[in-house]
Chain A
Amino acid sequence: MFTVKGKILMTVLTVVMMFALFILFYFPKRQERYLLENYNNEVENFVKTVALGVKIALTEQNFEGVETAIDFVRHDERLEFVSLIQIDTIKNSDGVETKIEKTVFKTYPENIEVNPEAVSNEQFIIKHASFASPMMNGMIMLSFSTKDIVKSKKQIRLTSILASLIVFIIGLVIGYLLARNISRPVLALRDAANKVGEGDLTQSVKNQSRDEIGELGIAFNKMVRDLSIEAAMERVRHEIANMRTKDDLLSITPLIWKELETLAVPFFRCGVFIIDETEQIIQSYLSSPDGQTLGVFNLQFKEDEIAGHLVTNWQKETIYTEHWDKNKFMAWMHSMAKKGHIKDATIYQGASKPPESLDLHFVPFKQGMLYVGNTYPLSSEALHLVKTLAEAFSIAYSRYEDFKKLEDAKNQMEKTLSELRSTQSQLIQSEKMASLGELTAGIAHEIQNPLNFVNNFSELSIDLIKEMKEELTNGNVKEVEDISLDLIQNMDKINHHGKRASSIVKAMLEHSRSGERDKVLTDINAIADEYLRLAYHGLRAKDKSFNADFSSDLDQNLSKIYVIPQDICRVFLNIINNAFYEVAKKAKEGIEGYLPSVSIRTKKLKNKVEIRIKDNGNGIPPDVLDKIFQPFFTTKPTGQGTGLGLSLSYDIIIKGHSGELKIDTKVGDGTEFIILLPE
């Protein structure tokens, strides 16, 4: 495969070779012929002149004239010989020419034998010129040497070889230069194109020539530039699209910085102003002159003159430019530092000296203005590039905003969710507290009664002992015996009611204590009975008009089982409370002969303990039945139920104790909750 260079060289060499060959062969041939022709003509002229001179001389019978005519050529160096030949025409008797006789009359140089019939050859040129005179008819025969011609021929050959050689060399040089001139930019283009292909968009070709290759180079450079702009925009889009948080936005300015550099826009400061019309603020992201971000600060719409210009031009979607000298720059910097927008003026200034001249360019886009600061005003071309960058930025930024909105919505939802969760846990807590509250009144009543008994029986016992002492003194043994029996009974009562009170206190403690969640061996009968009473008295305490019959049927064969007592107590309390609530509600309907009643029954089954809590309320309709274990579902009026009681109960029995919780209900007749706990 031939390279462009090779092809050009070959072509040039072929042309040069042909030219050289022409010089080498055709040119000398032609020259020689021309030379020969000229020589022939010259000799011809000579011979004619001599012949004319001889004719005149012979006509005048002046023989010296003949010599004079010969003299015309006699001294010519090239002369071989010159002859005067007499031609006689011999006629026969009829006057018809039969023979022409040629006789050499005179020759110079005399010593040469001349053959009148001789013709030109390589060495000589022989020319004839006939004449007629009254004295004689004849011809002049002239022979000239071709020695000179042969010499000239050699000369020509030599010259032509030299000339062709020179032509060849020049051709070679020109060809090489031409090939190089054409191939070098082409090769440079090829290499640059390869690099661009590999992703290096900083390539450009240097080409000053004004030919097609130069144009190609310009087109190539433009193409690479367009590509690099497009790549820069793509990077902006990509980077911004990846921004997720406000902190990410801080990398806006380094990004813009980098891309302005890529786009070869002259600048030394840049920034982005995001304009928020609803908040009336401009979020300002600025860079220091070394490309570092200066963070973000919020500029009020009416805070600053430049802020005002920014907003009005942004609204009009026009580019705004301003020129600052050193003083103006310093004034702005200090005012920003004073307001606390700029933390460190030296970092803001960046360089050791403030700029002598700063041309500020603000290019609008949908969400704000892109700022480019340079020492001199930007060309319209550069501004166009900045505008393109701003547009790319805008698209990407709006995507960021969309994402941000989504993110915010997500965060809001997460917040709401966590709030809901905390509300839920609060509600669970308040459900617990509510049931504790319900208990407290019951507990007060329940504790008060045994305490009253304790107090009464102990007071009575004191009196009895006094009496006993008296009787002893009187020696009345029978009375003493009776009194001591009473005393035993009283002590028994005191003991019983004391224990009763303490067990209530214990239950209360267990109910409120949530930290300890260990399963302990528990007497289900005891807590079932206790909580039935507690629930009853709790409700009574709250609602004076409330009343219901309650009873318990406890299987004495029930052995203690491992449960979390406070949890099971809560389940009992929840279900019993609901039962009382239901019967009380039904009682208010004023049905004739209705006796509200709640009962609790325990029963030992195989490997299981069954607790049945039954009411004769209105029962649960099927549509409600589906939902009663759902958290926050309640049929009670607002404020009276948290909707968590049964949901918690369900969790406690099913999850906490691997038990079962079943409902047997009939609308109008009542409901029975059946709890099954493994032994």
Chain B
Amino acid sequence: MKILVVDDEHDIQPLFEQRFRKEIRSGEFIFVFAYSGEQALECLKDYTHEAVLILSDINMPGMSGLELLKNIKQKHHQPPPVVMMITAYGDSDNYTRAMELGADDFITKPVDFSTLKEKIKTIH
């Protein structure tokens, strides 16, 4: 399963790579990283139909996670990939907006990786 992680924090890459070390090794998950919404859209062009899960941060300079979500869900893919929003702000506003735009899940930072793993596996 291909997973696109979108976050403006570059260190998200080593973190995910270590957290899902076993899954990556076993080839169960393939992670692709994008550091902005714009970059994520570029990636999605390249990996059309490949990415089944997108994990996106909401607060990013430039295109925000919510815009990206809107973009993905409304324009790009049929059937659209699963999009999980990850944000530091677990407020209801963000949550409602994300859900309205069709987010499949809403995760608040700090991310509990074991729960995240479970969630990803249920999509599987």
Contact = CB atoms under 8 A, between A and B. Distances in A.
Given A493-B11, A549-B61, A549-B62, A460 B19 contact: yes
A460 B62 contact: no
Contacts, number: 58
B109 A537 contact: no
B111 A540 contact: no
Nearest to B67: A547
A497 interface: yes
Contacts of B63: 547
A633 to B, nearest CB: 30
B65 to A, nearest CB: 10
Interface string B1-20: 00000000101001100110
A456 B111 CA distance: 9
Contact of B64 (A448, A541, A547): A547
Contacts of B67: 547
Contacts of B79: none
Contact of B14 (A489, A544, A547): A489
Contact of A449 (B9, B19, B64, B97): B9
A595 B63 CA distance: 9
Contact of A445 (B18, B59, B61, B113): B59
A452 B15 CA distance: 10
A537 B64 CA distance: 12
A285 to B, nearest CB: 70
A486 B94 contact: no
Contacts of B9: 449, 453
Given A449-B88, A455-B110, A493-B11, A536 B61 contact: yes
A241 interface: no
A96 to B, nearest CB: 193
B93 A493 contact: no
B15 A548 contact: no
A90 B9 CA distance: 202
B89 interface: yes
Given A449-B88, A452-B109, A460 B18 contact: yes
Contact of B15 (A456, A496, A536): A456
B61 A541 contact: no
Contacts of B11: 453, 493, 496-497
B103 to A, nearest CB: 14
A548 B67 CA distance: 12
B110 A456 contact: yes
Interface string A574-616: 0000000000000000000001000000000000000000000
Interface in B56-73: 59, 61-64, 67
A464 interface: yes
Contacts of B61: 536, 547-551
B69 to A, nearest CB: 13
Contacts of B89: 445, 541
A462 to B, nearest CB: 11
A contact patch SS: helix
B58 to A, nearest CB: 9
A490 B59 contact: no
Interface residues of B, number: 21
Contact of A460 (B15, B64, B97): B15
A397 interface: no
Nearest to B97: A544
A457 interface: yes
A456 B19 contact: yes
Interface in A450-494: 451-453, 455-457, 460, 464, 486, 489-490, 493
Nearest to B15: A456
Interface string A533-545: 0001100110010
B93 A453 contact: no
Contacts of A537: 59
B101 to A, nearest CB: 12
Contacts of B113: 456
Instruction: Name the residue among A452, A496, A551 with the largest chain B CB count within 10 angstroms.
Output: A452
A486 B18 contact: yes
B13 to A, nearest CB: 11
A448 B97 contact: no
Interface in B73-97: 88-89, 93-94, 97
B51 to A, nearest CB: 23
Nearest to B63: A547
B17 to A, nearest CB: 9
B92 to A, nearest CB: 11
Contacts of A493: 11, 14-15
Nearest to A544: B93
A146 to B, nearest CB: 167
A654 to B, nearest CB: 31
A452 B111 contact: yes
Nearest to A549: B62
B88 A448 contact: yes
Nearest to A489: B14
Nearest to B109: A452
Interface string A413-457: 000000000000000000000000000000011001101110111
Interface in A508-555: 536-537, 540-541, 544, 547-551
B94 A544 contact: yes
Contacts of A456: 15, 19, 110-111, 113
A486 to B, nearest CB: 6
A486 B18 CA distance: 8
A457 B93 contact: no
A267 to B, nearest CB: 85
A457 B15 contact: yes
Instruction: Name the residue among A444, A448, A449, A536 with the largest chain B CB count within 10 angstroms.
Output: A449
Nearest to B19: A460
Contacts of B97: 544
Nearest to B16: A456
A544 B18 CA distance: 32
A550 B14 CA distance: 24
Contacts of A540: 59
A445 B61 CA distance: 13
B36 to A, nearest CB: 9
Contacts of A549: 61-62
Nearest to A463: B18
Interface string B95-124: 001000000000001110100000000000
Nearest to B93: A544
Instruction: Name the residue among B14, B19, B64, B111 with the largest chain A CB count within 10 angstroms.
Output: B14
A460 B16 CA distance: 10
Interface of A: 444-445, 448-449, 451-453, 455-457, 460, 464, 486, 489-490, 493, 496-497, 536-537, 540-541, 544, 547-551, 595
15 contacts: A452-B109, A453-B9, A456-B15, A456-B111, A457-B14, A457-B18, A460-B15, A486-B18, A493-B14, A493-B15, A496-B11, A547-B61, A547-B62, A547-B64, A550-B61
Interface of B: 9, 11, 14-15, 18-19, 59, 61-64, 67, 88-89, 93-94, 97, 109-111, 113
In order of increasing CB-CB distance, the 10 nearest A-B pairs are A549-B62, A452-B110, A460-B18, A547-B64, A448-B88, A550-B61, A445-B88, A456-B15, A544-B93, A549-B61
Given A453-B11, A456-B110, A490-B14, 6 more contacts: A445-B88, A445-B89, A448-B110, A452-B110, A540-B59, A547-B63
